[in-house]
Structure 1
Amino acid sequence: MKDSESIDLAAMLCSRLCHDMLSPVGALSNGLELLAMETDPEMRKSVIELLEQSSKTSTNKLKFFRLAFGAAGGFGDRVDVEEPKALIDALVADKDKIEVNWAIETANLAKPAVKVLLNFAQIAIDALVRGGSLDIGAEVRGKNCEIVVRATGTKIGFDESIGKALDGSLPSSELSSRTAAAHMIALLAEQAGGGLQYARTDETLVLGAVLPEAEGLIG
């Protein structure tokens, strides 16, 4: 990847992060303004509860993006699976119409695999516009790590440009903040010597990855 393309990708990932953070941070700002003006004890209590919820949502999103986009996860090459599981569970905690089912057959994953897992989960959550089930699995077989994330619901909202970013067919000129994360993990998989794939119907979206368990590889 050229330096200019790397800068563009970083900028688009930042735009995606800012877009997702705008709502909870904006709610914090509005809540503080209301708290400054409100004198009724019951109303102040309600505002404080909203502030606490917005603060929790903001923190959860920042933790998620720090590991999904950044270099979090400790100083080693691998990450305990409980960390991405907790981040994804927190991401859907306020989405009562989405049920998460886990099938991870390993105690830890390489950092590139964790980034793919988290970004797959984000794509699948966004696709469940009317709720549904989110099945997340990962297994190390021999020298490869296999990851599958399946979203099942009454309606799947999936932008085909994200699919093109995943399979590498999206022209760089069409890259946007919406497709940047998919493009990032496609590059990550390619550099690791693995690959991504996806399939969708009106009610199902399946995202899959096979990544070599290369020793010492850090995403």
Structure 2
Amino acid sequence: MKSYEFASLLCSRLCHDLLSPVGALNNGLELLADETDPEMRERCLELLADSARASANKLKFFRLAFGAAGGFGDEVETREARAAIEGLFGAEGKVDIDWMVAEERMSKSALKVLLNLVLLGGDALVRGGTLAIGAEKHGSGIDIVVRAEGSRIIIDPELKKALVGDCNEEDIAPRAAAAWLVHCLVTDGGGQVQVADGEEGVLVFGASLPA
């Protein structure tokens, strides 16, 4: 897949995810302009604040997961990733974050793999649940595990195929952009990606990247 085609997939994914909170901001402003009741105006302002917060949380996460965040160095502090994950998935209280990453810094590519696996796991928890996130460096590289557990888990089969590379590049849809990015980052680095969803209510992603 050419770089501009992949960039188009990512842009489509970003626009899809940002459409809801930005649209809510627009609707809230329209309501506020016509509303004169003080109580209703206060409610509109609360809705605007919630939508603005959701938009900011998404942008912070996407900046790390898809962009060139973290400066010009080769590594990024993992606390930035933790804050972005908690802002995106933990803010509403539907998803509990179990952070088990002892490493203070990770390479940019490894951090992107972790964040995009978290994105896939969080999206699969349609009724909320728990996201357990782990990463451990060793002599030959780093292992990353993301475990999603909840009462109802849904993952598109196309996402699993994109993760392990069992698909044609031309058939990748915008919804699978994060999965394909993980596949490219891991395979380009000589690593492997695994998906396990045999246990009901549990979805596990694993990635191993050589040093």
The question of a shared fold, defined as TM-score above 0.5 by the shorter chain, is answered with yes
Residues 100-179 of structure 1 mapped to structure 2, 5 A cutoff:
100-179=97-176
Q: Normalising by the residue count of structure 1, what TM-score does the alignment of the two structures yield?
A: 0.93
Q: CA deviation at 1:96?
A: 2.2
1:205 matched to 2:207 = no
Task: Report sequence identity in percent.
Answer: 52
Amino acid at match of 1:185: V
Q: CA deviation at 1:183?
A: 0.7
1:21 matched to 2:2 = no
CA distance in 1 between counterparts of 2:35 and 2:196 reads 51
CA distance in 1 between counterparts of 2:24 and 2:128 reads 23
Q: CA deviation at 1:199?
A: 0.7
Residue from 29, 33, 49 that aligns with 1:32: 29
Amino acid at match of 1:64: F
Q: Normalising by the residue count of structure 2, what TM-score does the alignment of the two structures yield?
A: 0.96
Q: Judge conservation of contact 1:195–1:211 (CA < 8 Å) in 2.
A: yes
Q: Judge conservation of contact 2:90–2:96 (CA < 8 Å) in 1.
A: no
Residue from 50, 54, 57 that aligns with 1:57: 54
Q: CA deviation at 1:186?
A: 0.7
Q: CA deviation at 1:126?
A: 0.8
* Structure 2 residues without counterparts, runs of 5 or longer: none
Residue 8 (structure 1) aligns with? 5
Residue from 63, 71, 74 that aligns with 1:66: 63
1:99 aligned counterpart, secondary structure: strand
Amino acid at match of 1:20: D
Q: CA deviation at 1:97?
A: 2.5
2:175 aligned counterpart, secondary structure: coil
Q: CA deviation at 1:78?
A: 0.5
Displaced runs of 4 or more, over 2 A: 93-97
Instruction: Report the RMSD for the aligned CA atoms in angstroms.
Output: 1.1
CA distances 1:69-100 after superposition (whole Å, capped 9, x unpaired): 11111221101110000000001134423111
Q: CA deviation at 1:143?
A: 2.8
Q: Judge conservation of contact 2:90–2:97 (CA < 8 Å) in 1.
A: no
CA distance in 2 between counterparts of 1:27 and 1:167 reads 36
* Structure 1 residues without counterparts, runs of 5 or longer: 214-219
Q: Judge conservation of contact 1:31–1:51 (CA < 8 Å) in 2.
A: yes
Q: Judge conservation of contact 1:105–1:140 (CA < 8 Å) in 2.
A: no
Residue 93 (structure 2) aligns with? 96
2:90 aligned counterpart, secondary structure: coil
CA distances 1:29-87 after superposition (whole Å, capped 9, x unpaired): 00100110111111111111111111111111111111111111122110111000000
